[in-house]
Structures are given as C-alpha cells and as structure tokens.
Amino acid sequence: MSASTSASVRGAAFWICYAVTVISAVVSIAFAIAAVVDGGVAADNADALYAASRSTALVVLVLVAPLFRSDAALLALAVAMTIVQGIDAFVGAVQGDLGKALGPAVLCLATIIAATFLARSDRIRSAD
C-alpha cells in the first residue's frame, strides 16, 4: 500500500470514527436534556442531572478531539461512548422499551466498528 493511500485510509478512519462518536455523544446529551426538562431541576430528578453532566463532559471532549488529531484520544472517547451506549441499551432492555434498547445498541455497535476501523488503520500505517 502506498504512503498516500495509507494516509487517506487513516484520515478516512479518523473522520468516520469522529463522526460516529459525535453522533453518539449528541444523542446521549439530547436524551439527558430531555430527561432533565421532563423532570425539572429537583432533588427527585438527580439521576437525570447526573446523566446530563456526564453527557455534557463527553460532548465537550468529543467536539475538541479534532483539534489535537490524536488517534489515541479519539479511541478513548469512542470506548467511553461505547460503554455509555451499551449500558443505555441494557437499561432500555431491562425497562422493556424496545426504542430505548435498540437505538443505543445500534450506536454502540457503530462506534465499535468505527473505532476498530481507526485502530486497524494505525496498524496498516505502521506496517508500511
């Protein structure tokens, strides 16, 4: 594989992983904000507030990731979003809500695939 082809594969892998991770983080914060709005800012809505704070931190980190062009940082964020979406899918399944289980499960799998593509592109690049 030529150097330019390797670089373009790596670039595509980075931006695909970034896009999927951003979508995952934005969906996560959107649902967290919806839960806060539905429950209001009250002591009995603490779980939604904690979810919103977690999601806000992840969105901020994901949005600044391209500034550093660090594959390792993006992979770490992708792993974090995979865990978040995987747990959200589990919670949705336990609640018996197909929509709350299927959506996060799809995002979880998409993030795993995109992160694997990025990680493998690094191996291909280092083999050249």
pLDDT of residue 51: 87
CB atoms closer than 10 angstroms to residue 109: 14
Model confidence pLDDT, tens digit, residues 84-128: 999 999 999 999 989 889 999 999 999 999 999 999 986 655 555
**Does the pLDDT at position 5 exceed 80?**
no
| Token couple for 36 | 């806060």
pLDDT of residue 40: 66
CB atoms closer than 10 angstroms to residue 112: 17
Phi, psi dihedrals of residue 112, rounded to the nearest 5°: -60, -45
